[in-house]
Amino acid sequence: MTSLICGSIAFDTIMSFDGRFSEALLADQLHKINVAFLVPSIRREFGGCAGNIAYNLKLLGGDPLVMATVGQDSGPYLDRLDRLEISRRCIRVIDSSYTAQAFITTDADNNQITAFHPGAMALSHQNKVSDAGAVKLAIIAPDGRDGMLQHAQDCVSAAIPFIFDPGQGLPMFSGPELAHFIELATYVAVNDYEAELLTERTGLTLHEIAQRVSVLVVTRGEQGAEIFVGNDKIDIPCVAVDSVVDPTGCGDAFRAGVLYGLTQGMDWATIGRLSSLMGAIKITHQGGQNHAVSRAEIDERFHQAFGYRF
């Protein structure tokens, strides 16, 4: 059953600085910064919310259909999607732009300085949900502002239930706009910080948001997640891991679990546990798409963690 994933595709260039930013930046000279950092370690990762969600959904055996805009430099990413057998028929190439990309420098204290170039992502509104054909479910993940607004309305017009997943794009929208997204959405998924910002901007409590959608999901990192279904709340535990390597993309892995569970008709307790497991698998690997696990391995880890099979 096809899941439409509207969101960003991006490259992440991640660099490591052996020193400390605090020692290179002079407090009394911040008004005229001109510094250079030697970065002996550098790597380029495939990322973006739509790319990460699709990758994890494919691991589960789902059928992801990515809707995104990429630039003239997107060849390696598109080739990767082909190798993964993830459809890219709804990915539009904007030849006059670069693919969205983040340049992240991390110092010895894990402080980060990031520059983000939206590139082709800003033109995501050129894609139309109607071009996707028959889909069972959609997710509106962080993307270009105009694209997120349009795709939400398109899903309603096409009677496609969708998850509103504002993520790091949440600050782009006003309170009334966020309230409108909630009214249109079937489900809402946010992390704990985004939940605070969402309630602050809309003036709605989590209980009130939950009353306006079928289900509200709030992830809380190492504290697990909460799933609000009507007046009920399901507490989802965090799955223990041997080592925490990189949290980048864990939220996307969780959302892939939600998409898969919904298309398979699972109950919400099982959906939450599977999603939690996907986040745990991801966090033990660097980058958003470097965890290569089989469906059989996922099944067995779920059984070990929760005592039954999904």
Q: Which domain holds residue 197?
A: 2-10+48-99+121-306
Q: How confident is the model at residue 58 (pLDDT cuts 50, 70, 90)?
A: very high
In a domain, 175, yes or no: yes
Q: Is the pLDDT of residue 300 over 80?
A: yes
Four-point Cα dihedral 198, 204, 206, 209, nearest 10? -90
CATH number at residue 141: 3.40.1190.20
Task: Report the alpha-carbon distance of residue 73 to residue 99 in Å, rounded.
Answer: 6
Q: What is the pLDDT of residue 153?
A: 98
In a domain, 104, yes or no: no
Q: What is the pLDDT of residue 110?
A: 73
pLDDT in tens, 122-151: 999 999 999 999 999 999 999 999 999 999
Task: Report the alpha-carbon distance of residue 219 to residue 189 in Å, rounded.
Answer: 8
Q: What is the pLDDT of residue 33?
A: 79
In a domain, 22, yes or no: no
Cβ neighbour number for residue 160 with a 10 Å cutoff: 18
In a domain, 161, yes or no: yes
Based on the structure, what is the number of domains in the chain? 1
pLDDT in tens, 71-114: 999 999 999 999 999 999 999 999 999 999 989 898 888 788 88
Q: What is the pLDDT of residue 106?
A: 85
In a domain, 190, yes or no: yes
Q: What is the pLDDT of residue 239?
A: 96
In a domain, 38, yes or no: no
Q: How confident is the model at residue 237 (pLDDT cuts 50, 70, 90)?
A: very high
More confident residue, 30 or 236: 236
**Lowest-pLDDT range, 25-34, 98-107, 217-226, 284-293?**
25-34
Q: Are 202 and 179 in contact (CB under 8 A)?
A: yes
Q: What is the pLDDT of residue 71?
A: 98
In a domain, 72, yes or no: yes
Burial of 184 from C-beta contacts in 10 A (0-12 / 13-18 / 19+): middle
Q: What is the pLDDT of residue 124?
A: 98
Torsion angles phi and psi, residue 20, rounded to 5: -120, 130
Q: Is the pLDDT of residue 305 over 90?
A: yes
Q: What is the pLDDT of residue 178?
A: 98
Q: What is the pLDDT of residue 22?
A: 85
In a domain, 40, yes or no: no
Q: Is the pLDDT of residue 177 over 90?
A: yes
Give the pLDDT mean for 298-303.
Answer: 97
